[in-house]
């Protein structure tokens, strides 16, 4: 049937004839081996030339005018600051694991940079601040070059034609977003490099499946595990490639478990434990080691102190927080600040309106609010849980400890803090906080002090000890959030009673005690740096990373939704200079990203069509071609989906640059699709079929005819057109990628391909 021969590269041999043919003779095998060696030599020479060519091209593209602009660009503000903290050994907090920042800091250390510059704002001059920014940018740019080379190598090791290998790597090389992002002092270049190292290592490992437990087999297996550990240690999105490799390994193990493979359970168990050690234990050890190095370097107190517990702060030298720490006694006057929003607990003579605009009724009591800058109305006196308002020397000598019950008197009005079963002004589900005159409603003024880590710090202290204030009567916690009261509340921050006692944002910190200079008192006493077990420090920091990463929800002018990324409806303005009308606007290569998106659709369509056809007894695709397209193309397809789809369920603010790893995966999938469409046949075999002694157990030796994929003249023209379009679009967008030359208003408008591209100097 005509339909059944569609897309067949080689007609299958008649099964009856094939069954009657004798086994391969030694001469046949020798001839095949010689042909394969000659083929490999020719392929190697061709690949070497193309590999060197694309590496040279990528070097030029990545390093072109790397010295420009000589100013801070976009997130160099953050990561430049972080590498400076490492070099000054000053503790800081970041939502990403430490490896990427450690590598940037290592470059700074090697070139003699002392980390003196703070990277305060985008557009600040590097030259004026004597920062070796070109050398610092060289590292991510070099990794971008290596990433392009790795893409070529991945396609080569996967058995694709030389033209496809070169084209795929060239598409990555001439992608504007990758070039703009990966030559700056940021983490994405490092992360993409290790993602590709992991993919390359795993493909090399899979190709050695017939030499199981050989030296090379072990080498590439452990290289895969090391790549996983490094990727995960740069950004938490490294979990995506961990998932991809994990799924592939589970499929592999499931196939090995098949009774038809003839493996004993002992033999299978060796495979299982080898993968478990290399792909679970090794990545975990690398991940933990990075944090160990992180803690070993950052020994000085710094801006990250405020995120950590009091015990953690005690492990840092010259802790400013420790200098502020004083035990709190009864009758001390203190200020209280909310740990998450930094506002101070405040009250004044203004009252809540009796009736709110929505018709709800208040207590009409004095307002309790949050204020950014403390003043005379931000002082509160700590009273014991007694009805006697007068100071008592016995109580005054006592420090306040975990679970002690107290009352708080507002110094400015002389009234007592209270909450009750009345809805707060902003959130009707939460309770209103107010104050009452002394002697009134005693039971409703009682609060329990619940310290964050009572096992290590049982005494309430200023600066050091985070605490929750639980209301004894109604079981709510003192809480605030970033919503502000209307004009009647002077626009100050709403404070209320939170019924969720376990919420992490319930924590407050006592900042100072009136009339006591904490620094002078603490300087008179010798301070000792305490120790804390590594795993406890790691678990505390990891918990902070997870919680703060999820809390990055503050709107940003250049944020975008994942649905818009593949079609680039929105880019990111990285840098601009009014005097010269120059700008860096991060957006992908329109040709490449749309072709990558099309490759996802084409792969899905071909896969489903082939699946349905074979279900109906039709073989539309030759077996070896199908196997390569489904297995290897499917691996790239899975990599793309796993690096893209998870962002749809993330609640944090997202940007176009989060799509870059998925974009690289889409280019590799595009290469697989272009080979299927334009290149006749496949290069085979790509694995060494000579089985070692272990692999021969319960198996027969197989020999495959060597095949070489070669595009015809028409196919070469089509591939050349694709590459030409990519390069042309890259050059068109280059002024926005490199930040020069400047463009007139008309030129800016011409470069505004999509209406959502909010380019500078468009009018």
How remote is the C-alpha of 219 from its chain's centroid?
28
Helix (H) or strand (E) holding 550, with range, is helix 534-550
Q: Cα–Cα distance between 600 and 643 in angstroms, integer?
A: 13
CA distances from 89 to 92, 108, 704 (A): 9, 13, 59
| φ, ψ of residue 747 in degrees (nearest 5) | -65, -40
| 280 secondary structure, DSSP code | I
Q: Does CATH number 2.80.10.50 belong to domain 324-526?
A: yes
* pLDDT given at position 550: 83
3-state secondary structure of 429: coil
CA distances from 241 to 198, 403, 640, 661, 676 (A): 8, 46, 10, 10, 25
Long-range residue pairs from 504-507, CB within 8 A, at least 24 positions apart, any chain: 504/547, 505/338, 505/339, 505/340, 505/479, 505/481, 506/468, 506/477, 506/478, 506/479, 507/338, 507/339, 507/340, 507/452, 507/466, 507/467, 507/468
| φ, ψ of residue 479 in degrees (nearest 5) | -150, 155
Query: What would the pLDDT profile of 200-256 be if each residue is shown by its tens digit?
Result: 999 999 999 989 999 999 999 999 999 999 999 999 999 999 999 999 999 999 999
| Residue in 190, 210, 186, 187 with CA at minimum distance from that of residue 198 | 190
CB 239 within 8 A of CB 232: yes
* pLDDT given at position 1: 42
Residues with pLDDT less than 70, the chain:
1-24, 39, 389, 681-709
Model confidence, pTM: 0.84
Contacts of residue 45, Cβ cutoff 8 Å, sequence gap at least 6:
none
* pLDDT given at position 709: 66
Token output for 556: 């940003």
- Pinpoint the residues of the chain covered by CATH 2.80.10.50: 324-526
* pLDDT given at position 392: 78
Q: Cα–Cα distance between 659 and 666 in angstroms, integer?
A: 10
3-state secondary structure of 497: strand
* pLDDT given at position 22: 52
| Residue in 706, 337, 761 with CA at minimum distance from that of residue 750 | 761
Helix (H) or strand (E) holding 435, with range, is strand 431-436
Query: What would the pLDDT profile of 704-756 be if each residue is shown by its tens digit?
Result: 455 666 778 888 899 999 999 999 999 999 999 999 999 999 999 999 999 99
Other C-beta atoms closer than 10 Å to the C-beta of 664 total 28
* pLDDT given at position 693: 55
Token output for 352: 């809540």
CB 27 within 8 A of CB 146: no
| Residue in 548, 650, 617, 661 with CA at minimum distance from that of residue 241 | 661
| 334 secondary structure, DSSP code | E
Q: Cα–Cα distance between 344 and 412 in angstroms, integer?
A: 14
End-to-end Cα, the chain, rounded Å: 63
Q: In the block, which residue shows the tokens 């801006």?
A: 303
């Amino acid at each position: 049937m005509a339909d059944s021969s569609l897309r067949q590269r080689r007609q299958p041999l008649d099964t009856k004839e094939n069954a009657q043919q004798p086994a391969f003779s030694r001469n046949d095998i020798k001839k095949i081996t010689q042909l394969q060696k000659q083929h490999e030599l020719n392929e190697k020479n061709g690949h070497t030339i193309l590999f060197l060519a694309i590496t040279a091209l990528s070097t030029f593209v990545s390093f072109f005018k790397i010295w420009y602009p000589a100013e801070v660009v976009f997130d160099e503000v953050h990561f430049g600051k972080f590498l400076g903290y490492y070099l000054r050994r000053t503790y800081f907090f970041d939502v990403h694991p430490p490896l990427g920042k450690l590598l940037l800091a290592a470059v700074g250390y090697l070139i003699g940079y002392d980390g003196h510059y703070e990277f305060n704002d985008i557009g600040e001059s590097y030259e004026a601040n004597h920062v070796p920014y070109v050398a610092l940018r060289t590292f991510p740019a070099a990794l971008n070059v290596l990433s392009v080379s790795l893409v070529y190598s991945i396609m080569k090791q996967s058995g694709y034609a030389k033209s496809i290998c070169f084209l795929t790597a060239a598409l990555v090389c001439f992608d504007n977003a990758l070039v703009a992002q990966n030559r700056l002092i940021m983490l994405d270049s490092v992360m993409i490099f290790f993602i590709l190292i992991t993919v390359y290592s795993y493909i090399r490992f899979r190709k050695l499946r017939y030499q199981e437990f050989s030296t090379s087999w072990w080498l590439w297996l452990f290289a895969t595990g090391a790549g996983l550990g490094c990727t995960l240690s740069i950004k938490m999105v490294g979990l995506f490639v961990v998932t991809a490799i994990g799924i592939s390994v589970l499929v592999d193990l499931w196939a090995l478990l098949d009774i038809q493979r003839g493996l004993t359970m002992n033999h299978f168990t060796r495979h299982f434990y080898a993968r478990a050690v290399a792909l679970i234990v090794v990545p975990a050890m690398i991940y933990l080691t990075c944090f160990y190095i992180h803690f070993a370097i950052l020994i000085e107190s710094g801006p990250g102190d405020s995120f950590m517990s009091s015990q953690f702060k005690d492990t840092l030298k010259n802790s400013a927080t420790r200098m502020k720490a004083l035990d709190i006694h009864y009758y001390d006057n203190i200020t209280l600040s909310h740990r998450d929003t930094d506002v101070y607990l405040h009250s004044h003579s203004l009252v809540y309106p009796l009736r709110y605009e929505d018709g709800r009724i208040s207590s009409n009591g004095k307002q309790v609010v949050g204020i950014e800058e403390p003043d005379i109305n931000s002082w509160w006196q700590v009273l014991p849980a007694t009805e006697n308002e007068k100071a008592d020397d016995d109580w005054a000598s006592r420090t306040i400890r975990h679970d002690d019950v107290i009352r708080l008197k507002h110094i400015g009005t002389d009234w007592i803090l209270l909450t009750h079963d009345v809805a707060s002004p902003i959130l009707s589900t939460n309770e209103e906080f107010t104050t009452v005159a002394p002697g009134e409603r005693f039971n409703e003024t009682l609060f329990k002090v619940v310290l964050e880590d009572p096992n290590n710090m049982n005494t309430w202290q200023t600066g050091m000890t985070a605490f929750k204030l639980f209301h004894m009567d109604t079981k709510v916690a003192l809480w605030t959030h970033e919503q502000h009261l209307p004009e009647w509340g002077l626009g100050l921050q709403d404070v209320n009673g939170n019924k969720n006692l376990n919420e992490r944002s319930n924590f407050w910190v006592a900042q100072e005690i009136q009339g006591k200079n904490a620094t002078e008192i603490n300087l008179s006493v010798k301070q000792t740096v305490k120790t804390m077990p590594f795993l406890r420090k790691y678990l505390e920091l990891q918990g902070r990373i997870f919680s703060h990463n999820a809390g990055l929800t503050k709107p940003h002018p250049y944020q975008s939704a994942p649905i818009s990324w593949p079609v680039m409806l929105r880019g990111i303005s990285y840098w601009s200079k009014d005097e010269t009308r120059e700008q860096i606007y991060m957006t992908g290569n329109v040709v490449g990203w749309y072709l990558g998106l099309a490759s996802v659709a084409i792969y899905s369509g071909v896969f489903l069509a082939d699946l349905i056809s074979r279900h109906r007894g039709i073989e539309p695709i030759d077996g070896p071609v199908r196997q390569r397209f489904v297995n290897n193309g499917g691996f790239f397809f899975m990599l793309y989906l796993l690096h893209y789809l998870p962002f749809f369920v993330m609640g944090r603010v997202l940007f176009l640059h989060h799509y870059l790893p998925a974009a690289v995966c889409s280019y590799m999938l595009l290469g697989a699709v272009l080979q299927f469409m334009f290149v006749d046949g496949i290069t085979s075999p790509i694995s060494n079929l000579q089985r070692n002694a272990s692999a021969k157990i319960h198996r027969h030796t197989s020999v495959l005819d060597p095949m070489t994929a070669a595009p015809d003249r028409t196919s070469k023209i089509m591939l050349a057109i694709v590459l030409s379009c990519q390069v042309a679009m890259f050059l068109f967008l280059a002024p926005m990628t490199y930040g020069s030359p400047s463009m007139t208003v008309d030129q800016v408008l011409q470069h505004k391909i999509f209406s959502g591209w909010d380019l500078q100097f468009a009018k």
